[in-house]
Structure 1
Amino acid sequence: MCAAATPLDVDTIVFGGPTWHVLGDRLLATIEPMVARSPFVRASHATIVASTTLGENVAAIVTASLVLDQALSAQPRSLLLG
């Protein structure tokens, strides 16, 4: 997780899932300092670690959003003249 933050240059890392509402408070207290001191996270900007606001179905919602984005958004390759 920390190693992915620098190449992707993320500002925010969001956690969630079916058991997150039970474990989230305890895990965030551990994860935030780990991300802050990780040698893999470049200190060019702060990286926020947060809990999802989408509830326990976050994986399904994100997956559906990606499918809809792919199906309904303009695709750059379709704009090329062939």
Structure 2
Amino acid sequence: MMDIVEIIIGFIALLMTARIFLERSRARKLLYLCCLSFCISALIALYVDSPMGGIVAITYFICSTISSNAIAYTIEQTKHIE
């Protein structure tokens, strides 16, 4: 069961990576980057089977959340520029 979950999350991460490079809109690139960072956080939590792995995943998740807020702010600012 975990293998299927890891494969699905990995596929989503690869899809977001491709979309980051193919997308022209800066705002959408930032959204895909945000999704990619959440995928990485999930993969860290699934692959590392130790308490330290959990701590690393939680730390990465918190940093991803902070970066998501920065991305949302940047998207709002780019609306004024474009």
- Give the structure-1-normalised TM-score: 0.35
Higher relative contact order (CA 8 A, sep 6+): 1
TM-score (norm 2): 0.35
Structure in which a larger fraction of residues adopt helix: 2
The structure whose residues are more often strand, as a share, is: 1
